């Protein structure tokens, strides 16, 4: 039975491929073999290849395990950290307090 992969818009697929490429470059900079990273991440070599290609069928947990094997797991915490749009939307919904009537 073939695994289902998420249906992504082309722009989202491109982002995932960029992430995979960055993971591959990080591995190569460290001079780690694919076999070694896959073993440390607890995944198969083919899964690592899929991650480095940016496959949407690989679970996010596997991506995180690979980042941990490369000692980059803290980078995962940067996802959506600086949510500028969300903060603007939140600020727009804040209620302004009405001033008390002036004393006569």
Q: Which residue range is the domain that position 22 belongs to?
A: 10-93
Quote the pTM value: 0.77
In a domain, 51, yes or no: yes
* Domains in the chain, number: 1
In a domain, 31, yes or no: yes
Q: Tokens in use for 8?
A: 């992504």
In a domain, 99, yes or no: no
Query: Tens digits of per-residue pLDDT, 48-68?
Result: 999 999 999 999 999 999 999
Tell me how far apart the alpha carbons of residues 58 and 11 are, in angstroms, rounded to a whole number: 18
In a domain, 36, yes or no: yes
In a domain, 4, yes or no: no
- DSSP secondary structure code for residue 57 in this structure: T
In a domain, 2, yes or no: no
pLDDT over 70, % of the chain: 90
- Contact present, 75 and 67 (Cβ < 8 Å): yes
CATH number of the domain residue 89 falls in: 1.10.260.40
Q: Tokens in use for 16?
A: 């995932």
In a domain, 67, yes or no: yes
């Amino acid at each position: 039975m073939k695994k289902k992969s998420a249906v992504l818009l082309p722009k989202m697929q491109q982002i995932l491929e960029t992430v995979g490429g960055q993971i591959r470059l990080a591995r190569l900079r460290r001079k780690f073999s694919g076999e070694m990273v896959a073993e440390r991440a607890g995944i198969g070599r083919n899964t690592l290849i899929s991650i480095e290609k940016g496959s949407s069928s690989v679970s996010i947990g596997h991506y995180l395990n690979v980042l941990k094997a490369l000692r980059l797991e803290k980078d995962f915490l940067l996802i959506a950290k600086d949510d500028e749009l969300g903060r603007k939307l939140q600020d727009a919904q804040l209620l302004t307090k009405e001033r008390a009537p002036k004393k006569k």
